[in-house]
Structure 1
Amino acid sequence: MSTETVPPVSKAAIRRLRTRSELVGAARRLTAEHGLAGFTLEQLCDEVGISRRTFFNHFASKDDVVVGVGLDDDEDEALEGYASSRRDPRLPVFSTTLDDLAALVVQRVEHVGLTRERAAEFKAALDREPRLLQAMLTQGDEQQRRVAAAVASHEGVPADDPRIGVVVAVAGALVQRAMTRFFFDEGPPGLRFDHVLRDQLALARELFAAVPPLDQEAR
């Protein structure tokens, strides 16, 4: 999995991500235990050790913190760095996109300290408050649009290139499958998320390579 096109994230951004991750983890745990109405923002802030004012620097509401929708989610330093970089012109278009997007996801997982326990808390919170699922899906759609725009910029192709939607959808499906396998399925001690995602990418490539191209006249 190549990380050459994934720019480093600043220390300030990492600190912001970790504070946000702690808030999200605590909010999901409290939601799973008590429901959204069962705790206050003050209790959440006390649990994390921050002020109410600091909370509102990151999130607009209790619902948003459980879903993980931050106030500056459109300011993704790593994704913006990827978008502003350019594909090696010696390589075919989209030849490294799956690896690039996978590396971005791995970087984010490492920076926010996402663990099996925190993933289980999120599932428990959604089970307790099913209405949050729609908000999560809406956020996912918005993130997919941002990723698609970044891919178009990095690859130097028009934003309406139909291949962008396909590669982003494939990458998203592989990431979702890797997260399910890593965070919820049984695994050996020391299992790493980047290894699970790498294996999913390898399997996808094997499948794609085994499919013959469509006959032009049959399209």
Structure 2
Amino acid sequence: MALATGKTAQRRQRTRFELTAAARRLTAEHGLSGFTLEELCASVGISRRTFFNHFASKEDVVVGVALDDDDEALDGYASSRRDPRLPVLSTVFDDLGALVVERVENVGLTRGQAADFKAALDREPRLFGAMMRQGDEQRRRIVAAVASHEGLDEGDPRIDVAVTLLTGLVQRAFERFFSAEGRADERFDAVLDAQLAIARGLFAASTPSASPTPAAAPTLPADHDRKAL
């Protein structure tokens, strides 16, 4: 049964990858109104009905937001618990970074495929609105998942700071991934890992134990003090 479930998940992921790749290419070439859902579905050999088992709209398939996106991975993270031997939020960057990478892998975004995505976004700026709406909802869900995993209140300001920092790093990684030159087969996770490594290094260097101890002020002889007066 586990094998069948695995094969079903692989087929679902492959169908979504093919739909997203085709939708980005068609949008880059013709715009969102330049092709129909029937034409998109025919290009990957599925029915319109099957399309709506995966995505809610053209905009969502181009952005790569599936109907049940991230539910399993994020819910699994939320239901797990932090190792009590570790400090609070000590692994949050690694944990959330892995979830981001998993999502990107689910829509198959290598640097070569990113070119079509960027061209689609350039041609249809309204797609950024769909991305922003998804981002707001995703942030809410991530904050709730972190709170559950760490055993903290959702209003804990440390969670807000951690998610804000990671969001900025992910955004910067996407900017570098889309704009920087490199191998066509380079993966997004390699770019994000580099950003996270730099952040870890900065935080490690700024810990109190790594800070130099201020030198003590020299003690002057008593007669020196009197002469100075």
Q: TM-score range by the shorter chain?
A: 0.7 to 0.9
Partner of 1:217: none
Match of 1:60 among 34, 52, 56: 56
Distance 1:176 1:187 in 2: 18
**Which of 133, 140, 144 in structure 2 is aligned with 1:138?**
133
Give distance in 2, aligned partners of 1:113 and 1:168: 24
Give the alignment partner of residue 31 of structure 2, picking from 23, 32, 35.
35
Residue aligning to 2:20: 24
Sort the Cα spacing of 1:205 and 1:81 in 2 relative to 1 into closer, same or farther, 3 A. same
- How far apart are residue 10 of structure 1 and its match? 5.0
Q: Provide Cα deviations, 1:8-40, integer angstroms capped at 9, x if missing partner.
A: x95534432332222122111111101111111
- Asked if the contact 1:120/1:184 (under 8 Å) is kept, the reply is no
Among 99, 108, 114, the residue aligned to 2:94: 99
* Cα shift at 1:193: 3.6
TM-score by length of 1: 0.83
SS in 1 for 2:52: helix
Q: For 2:194, which of 181, 192, 199 is the aligned residue? A: 199
Give the direction of change, closer, same or farther, for the CA distance of 1:126–1:45 in structure 2 (3 Å limit): same
Other-structure match for 1:46: 42
Change in 2 beyond 3 A, CA 1:12/1:82: farther
Within-5 A mapping of 1:73-92 = 73=69, 76-92=71-87
* Residue 170 of structure 1: aligned partner: 165
Which residue type is aligned with residue 19 of structure 2? Answer: L
% identical aligned pairs: 72
Measured after TM superposition, the shift of residue 90 of structure 1 is: 0.3
Taking the aligned partners of 2:157 and 2:115, their CA distance within structure 1 comes to: 36
1:78 is matched by which residue type in structure 2? A
- 1:126/1:132 contact within 8 Å kept: yes
Stretch moving more, 199-208 or 77-86: 199-208
The size of the alignment, in residue pairs, is 204
Bigger RCO (CA 8 Å, 6+ sep): 1
Instruction: Report the Cα offset of residue 212 of structure 1.
Output: 6.5
CA distance in 2, matches of 1:120, 1:27: 13
Consecutive unaligned residues of structure 1, counting only runs of 5 or more, are: 1-8, 214-219
Query: Is the 2:24–2:117 Cα contact (8 Å) retained in structure 1?
Result: yes
Gaps of 5+ in 2: 209-229
1 CA distance for matches of 2:36 and 2:106? 27
Whole-angstrom distance in 2 between the partners of 1:77 and 1:20: 16
**Could you tell me which residue of structure 1 aligns to residue 211 of structure 2?**
none
